A and B are shown apart, each in its own frame.
Chain A
Amino acid sequence: MLALIVALPLLAAIAVMLGTPARQTSIAAAGANLALGLWAAFSWENSFWNFSVPVLEKPALNLSFGMQDGISAVMIALSVLVTLAATLNARAPVGREKLYYSSILLIAAGAIGAFASTDLFFFYAFHELALIPTFLMIGILGRGDRKQIAWKITIYLGLGSIVLLAGLVWLANLAGTFDIPTMVAAARDGTLVIDPATQKSIAALLIVGFGSLVSLFPMHSWAAPAYASAPAPVAMLHAGVLKKFGLYGLIRVALPIVPEGMQAWLGVLLVLLLGNLLWCGMVTISQKRFDNMLGSASVMHMGYIFLGIAAVVSNPHNTLGIPAAVLLMFAHGVSVALLFGLADRIERATGTLDFADLGGLAKSAPALAFTVGFAAFTAMGLTVSANFVGEVFVFLSAFQQYTPATGLTPLQIVCIFAIWGVVISAVYMLRAFHGMFHGPPVEATRNAPDLTLADRIPALLLAIPLLCVGLYPNLLLNLIR
């Protein structure tokens, strides 16, 4: 019945385009989807959720949705959560409500469809479906140099998707099926044998393809400007949910089916993820606007998740890497959505996001200051937040196979460098918080209104899960195991 969770936003998007009240329809659909999605996530083992319709006999293509394991469940929970928050946070310009809300719903439908698909064809197709409204929204309603930025993200993600498609098609041809669980099972029990050279080529295509979708260094330069320019709900959905598709794909497809190929690229992957953490971290420190900083920070944090994946690449028996990566994907998705939502709120209250023009907001808007503070500390990976648990697990996973006799492997050396990323995050987050909220109020912030009830609901919706998972990580870990 997962098809329902995919169809609901799609149908709502069509309804909005046909003229039903845009905001109410979207919130109703997203709310219903949250209930359904959480229910599905916490009972993912139930075969009730599986759904499959053949759409083509030869080659066998099925429009099939199902939870292959707890990873899909976590991703679906993340998607429905952020979708509702993004919808609640949406403020459409007058006259553009149809475009605005239907785009949000389409992005959500594409993301949920991609995470729920068990067929490689639709797995890919749904993600692409979500990209189109993203491009349009940035191009039509973005801020700043929107046309330029929309072209940039289109070209980066379009090329990335094409490279990815080549890898996936190759894989499907070798496997003789489009069904992902069948493929994984065949690779695991040895009926699908791919020679190392082919594995290496496929893995390269998948790393470049999925990697550019997740803004893996050096294919990351689209991300920060795009998030800064995109309307807030789009930034929330893309940075929070859609971008995770690349990581999800690596975990779902690349790791189990071409493990040797991935291993061949381990060294490159380690260097690139350090690029994300340290290079992009430094770039983040130098940002002068809050939204640019958030976009850049979200690029940086992908490094940790890649580290978790790299731990599994280096040793397939690593049991911590994948739960750690998935936990962090969830935590990062929720916290970055919360931050983008709040950044939009700050801009609406003060008219600017330049650190130079802001200050003393804590006096005029204490609740806003508290919430941003909470979100910022979460993103830094402070204790009692889901991000903290995720990051610690990632670091632990890198050292799971550590034996003092053999010394440090490259993975562990990289991990030691990666821990410095935490310091970098602390530097830019604290600077940003200090710059915006401390000190005497300035002209822009003097009369800034505090959070209203309508602002608090989406914020709480995202903050509570962060706290819950931070206090009791087993909530998600039980699903993933």
Chain B
Amino acid sequence: MERSDMEALTNSIKSASNHFPLFPMPAYYLEALTVTLGLILLMAEAFVPSKSKSWVGVFAAIGLGGILLLIPLAIGPDAKPDAGWAAWPLWNFYQFDSLARFYKIFALITTLLVVLMSIDYRKILARYTDHPGSENGTGEFYALPVFACAGMMWLASAKDLAGAFVALELITVTFYILVAYMRRNVGSLEAGVKYLILGALSTGFLVYGIAWVYGSTGTMSLAAMPSSISNLQSPIPLLFGIALVMVGLAFKIGAVPMHIWIPDVYQGAPTPVTAFLSVGSKAAGFILLVRFLEPFLASEFTRGPVLKLLIILSIATLLFGNLAAIPQTNFKRLLAYSSIAHAGFLLLALAAGSSGTDAALGSVQVVSLYLATYLIITLAVFFMLAQVRIQREGEDISDFNGLGQTNPTFAMALTILLAALAGVPLTAGFIGKFFVFTLAVDAGMWAGVGIAFIAAGTGFYYYLKVVRAMWWSAPGDRPAVFLPTISKTCVVVLTAATLVFGVWPQPILALLR
């Protein structure tokens, strides 16, 4: 990637996002509002009667929706050029370009859907927190995701390693609580401990890496990084730091070799938290990775080794995620491995290191597009999984047996979604994979292309195992599954979106410019 290309791209992104709303507000109000919402929910929770704590969830969803509506009003430092505005010191830590806006929308939608999912999941939550009849212990469950959301939104705008680290920890610490939330459930507790220990380890890597980067470049600011890199005598200490940070981030995005926690934590955590982890946390990891690597990919000094590291991570992740998914019999665990596999595809897109041309998408755009489609499909699947878990008391693939007979519409929707996860054309899942392949072929990464194709083929096999269970096996004495109103609405909307964006992906990309 040429420097000038990179600059041209950033400029075009900036000029395109240079709209001016009627009632402008500084972009960081969004995070402030989100945190305020979380605090209000925590306090209000005390006054909600213990029978119906799910009202907290309803308020959280309404609040998040309101913040989502405010996004068009947000403006960054470049939007208003008067002297005092752009010189506001916070802008040294905070940027607001189209990418930041995209990931803020992403975080808000994810959290909104996770909160809605939690409302329909309250029965299980109640059973494993207080006692089945009372929702006493469940109120905070709706407020905590809002804080994680604020962290994700801040991360999208991070411009400084210190700020990014704090935002990331806000997300991680919230997840420590959420994963272990069902305190009377051994699986959830085990998941919580595993996540805590491995999370702390990865944080260690991250901080140590940031220290090395700071030590060799003398700056925490990603914007100032290019000029300090060009003054380096040897890139070795910097590369060491970058490698450490990437190991830390590999934990967040679920890439090999820091993937060990994923299957156990995904399986043990409450289903809405698993969904949040696999979509929100992964996207947060990727936006940070994109922001962090941007200056290093732009410099000839570091570009080669960083790309090499990315392609190695990607191939290892693709191979492990897909091959380990094959023998799984638990659907939630299968989704955990599938989430590792998807991280492999996303890393492959980054490894192509393309900044895009007039006729082709760049790596960052493809990653964002892929994550957006992944959000839609994965959350819909989790909505359905959560209800199967509640009504059929299990999450094994065999618990999906015969759904084609008992619930044809449900089974049809899940078939479409799983096909989309596998990357069947004319679904949103194919669009993402297609552009990853295009990037990889264009960059001439034949090893990556070969592995990715094998990975995609394997995906067909293990996703279709669930389809097979639904359509080819008899239900036995398993009951039909009924989707509550909220879940049903979300599943219908998300499935429709999967099909529409599979043919017409332009709206997602329009958000990126």
Please tell me if the beta carbons of B419 and A56 are within 8 angstroms of each other in the complex.
Answer: no
Cα separation A206 to B229 with both chains bound (whole Å): 45
Please tell me if the beta carbons of B438 and A173 are within 8 angstroms of each other in the complex.
Answer: yes
Contact with A along B408-426 (1 / 0, CB 8 A): 1100100100010000111
Select which of B361, B404, B419, B430 is within 8 A of A58 by beta carbon.
Answer: B361
Please tell me if the beta carbons of B503 and A128 are within 8 angstroms of each other in the complex.
Answer: no
Which residues of A lie under 8 Å from residue B415 when comparing CB positions? 136
Contact with B along A156-185 (1 / 0, CB 8 A): 001100110110011011001100000000
Contact with A along B347-384 (1 / 0, CB 8 A): 00000000010111100000000000000000000000
Please tell me if the beta carbons of A59 and B359 are within 8 angstroms of each other in the complex.
Answer: yes
Which of A118-126, A305-313, A438-446, A460-468 participates in binding chain B? A118-126
The closest CB in chain B to the CB of A146 belongs to B472
Distance of B385 from chain A, by nearest CB (Å):
21
Q: Which of B306-330 contact A (CB under 8 A)?
A: none
Q: A56-B509, A163-B453, A166-B449 are in contact. Are A136 and B471 (CB under 8 A)?
A: yes
Which residues of A lie under 8 Å from residue B424 when comparing CB positions? 128-129, 132
Please tell me if the beta carbons of B441 and A169 are within 8 angstroms of each other in the complex.
Answer: yes
With an 8 Å Cβ cutoff, the count of chain A residues facing the other chain is 38
> Does A4 reach chain B (CB closer than 8 Å)?
no
Select which of B358, B460, B505, B509 is within 8 A of A154 by beta carbon.
Answer: B460
Which residues of B lie under 8 Å from residue A136 when comparing CB positions? 415, 467, 471
Cα separation A371 to B432 with both chains bound (whole Å): 50
> Does A422 reach chain B (CB closer than 8 Å)?
no
Please tell me if the beta carbons of B509 and A57 are within 8 angstroms of each other in the complex.
Answer: yes
Cα separation A341 to B456 with both chains bound (whole Å): 35
> Does A55 reach chain B (CB closer than 8 Å)?
yes
Select which of A56, A125, A132, A139 is within 8 A of B505 by beta carbon.
Answer: A56
The secondary structure that dominates the A interface is helix
Q: Which of A38-75 contact B (CB under 8 A)?
A: 54-61, 63
Distance of B32 from chain A, by nearest CB (Å):
35
> Does B434 reach chain A (CB closer than 8 Å)?
yes
Cα separation A158 to B457 with both chains bound (whole Å): 7
> Does B442 reach chain A (CB closer than 8 Å)?
yes
Cα separation A61 to B361 with both chains bound (whole Å): 12
Please tell me if the beta carbons of A154 and B464 are within 8 angstroms of each other in the complex.
Answer: yes
Q: Which of B421-473 contact A (CB under 8 A)?
A: 424-426, 430, 434, 437-438, 441-442, 449, 453, 456-457, 460-461, 464, 467-468, 471-472
Which residues of B lie under 8 Å from residue A54 when comparing CB positions? 506
> Does A480 reach chain B (CB closer than 8 Å)?
no
Please tell me if the beta carbons of B505 and A173 are within 8 angstroms of each other in the complex.
Answer: no
Which residues of B lie under 8 Å from residue A125 when comparing CB positions? 425-426, 430
The closest CB in chain B to the CB of A61 belongs to B505
> Does A252 reach chain B (CB closer than 8 Å)?
no
Please tell me if the beta carbons of B460 and A126 are within 8 angstroms of each other in the complex.
Answer: no
Please tell me if the beta carbons of A166 and B441 are within 8 angstroms of each other in the complex.
Answer: yes
Please tell me if the beta carbons of A63 and B472 are within 8 angstroms of each other in the complex.
Answer: no
The closest CB in chain A to the CB of B508 belongs to A56
> Does B85 reach chain A (CB closer than 8 Å)?
no
Please tell me if the beta carbons of A140 and B472 are within 8 angstroms of each other in the complex.
Answer: yes
Please tell me if the beta carbons of A98 and B441 are within 8 angstroms of each other in the complex.
Answer: no
> Does A434 reach chain B (CB closer than 8 Å)?
no
Q: Which of A103-142 contact B (CB under 8 A)?
A: 121, 124-126, 128-129, 132, 135-136, 139-140
The closest CB in chain A to the CB of B412 belongs to A17
The closest CB in chain B to the CB of A165 belongs to B437
The closest CB in chain A to the CB of B468 belongs to A139
**Interface residues of B toward A: which range?**
35 or more
Distance of A460 from chain B, by nearest CB (Å):
35
Which residues of A lie under 8 Å from residue B460 when comparing CB positions? 154, 158
The closest CB in chain A to the CB of B510 belongs to A57
Q: A125-B425, A154-B464 are in contact. Are A55 and B503 (CB under 8 A)?
A: yes
Distance of A51 from chain B, by nearest CB (Å):
14
Select which of B361, B409, B441, B503 is within 8 A of A59 by beta carbon.
Answer: B361
Please tell me if the beta carbons of B419 and A98 are within 8 angstroms of each other in the complex.
Answer: no
> Does A289 reach chain B (CB closer than 8 Å)?
no
Which residues of B lie under 8 Å from residue A99 when comparing CB positions? 408
> Does B504 reach chain A (CB closer than 8 Å)?
yes
Please tell me if the beta carbons of B434 and A129 are within 8 angstroms of each other in the complex.
Answer: no
Q: A125-B425, A147-B472 are in contact. Are A172 and B438 (CB under 8 A)?
A: yes
Please tell me if the beta carbons of A58 and B509 are within 8 angstroms of each other in the complex.
Answer: yes
Please tell me if the beta carbons of B359 and A58 are within 8 angstroms of each other in the complex.
Answer: yes
Q: A55-B505, A121-B434, A170-B441 are in contact. Are A129 and B425 (CB under 8 A)?
A: yes
Cα separation A229 to B361 with both chains bound (whole Å): 44
Please tell me if the beta carbons of B457 and A139 are within 8 angstroms of each other in the complex.
Answer: no
Please tell me if the beta carbons of A140 and B426 are within 8 angstroms of each other in the complex.
Answer: no
Q: A63-B503, A140-B472, A173-B438 are in contact. Are A166 and B426 (CB under 8 A)?
A: no
Which residues of B lie under 8 Å from residue A176 when comparing CB positions? 359
Q: A58-B360, A58-B509, A139-B471 are in contact. Are A173 and B426 (CB under 8 A)?
A: no
Cα separation A98 to B407 with both chains bound (whole Å): 13
Contact with A along B206-230 (1 / 0, CB 8 A): 0000000000000000000000000
Cα separation A129 to B502 with both chains bound (whole Å): 12
Select which of A55, A60, A162, A172 is within 8 A of B453 by beta carbon.
Answer: A162
Please tell me if the beta carbons of B442 and A173 are within 8 angstroms of each other in the complex.
Answer: yes
Which residues of A lie under 8 Å from residue B453 when comparing CB positions? 162-163, 165-166
Cα separation A98 to B358 with both chains bound (whole Å): 45
Distance of B409 from chain A, by nearest CB (Å):
8
Contact with B along A423-457 (1 / 0, CB 8 A): 00000000000000000000000000000000000
Which residues of B lie under 8 Å from residue A135 when comparing CB positions? 464
Cα separation A158 to B358 with both chains bound (whole Å): 32
Cα separation A135 to B461 with both chains bound (whole Å): 12
Which residues of A lie under 8 Å from residue B457 when comparing CB positions? 158-159, 162
Cα separation A82 to B412 with both chains bound (whole Å): 26
Cα separation A95 to B467 with both chains bound (whole Å): 19
Distance of B452 from chain A, by nearest CB (Å):
9
Distance of A264 from chain B, by nearest CB (Å):
19
Please tell me if the beta carbons of A128 and B441 are within 8 angstroms of each other in the complex.
Answer: no
The closest CB in chain A to the CB of B461 belongs to A155
Which residues of B lie under 8 Å from residue A166 when comparing CB positions? 437, 441, 449, 453
Please tell me if the beta carbons of A58 and B471 are within 8 angstroms of each other in the complex.
Answer: no
Cα separation A24 to B194 with both chains bound (whole Å): 58
Which residues of A lie under 8 Å from residue B419 when comparing CB positions? 132
The closest CB in chain A to the CB of B443 belongs to A173
Select which of A58, A124, A172 is within 8 A of B425 by beta carbon.
Answer: A124
Name 29 A/B residue pairs within 8 A (Cβ), A-sorted: A17-B412, A54-B506, A55-B503, A55-B505, A55-B506, A56-B509, A57-B506, A57-B509, A59-B360, A59-B438, A63-B503, A98-B408, A99-B408, A124-B425, A125-B426, A128-B426, A128-B430, A129-B425, A136-B415, A136-B467, A136-B471, A140-B471, A147-B472, A154-B460, A163-B453, A166-B453, A172-B438, A173-B438, A173-B441
The 10 closest A-B CB pairs, nearest first, are A125-B425, A128-B425, A55-B504, A125-B426, A173-B442, A162-B453, A158-B460, A169-B441, A129-B426, A169-B437
Known: A61-B505, A140-B404, A158-B457. 18 other contacts (CB 8 A): A17-B409, A55-B505, A56-B506, A57-B509, A59-B361, A128-B424, A128-B430, A132-B419, A136-B415, A139-B471, A140-B472, A147-B468, A162-B457, A165-B437, A166-B437, A166-B449, A176-B359, A177-B359
Q: Which residues of A contact B (CB under 8 A)?
A: 17, 54-61, 63, 98-99, 121, 124-126, 128-129, 132, 135-136, 139-140, 147, 154-155, 158-159, 162-163, 165-166, 169-170, 172-173, 176-177
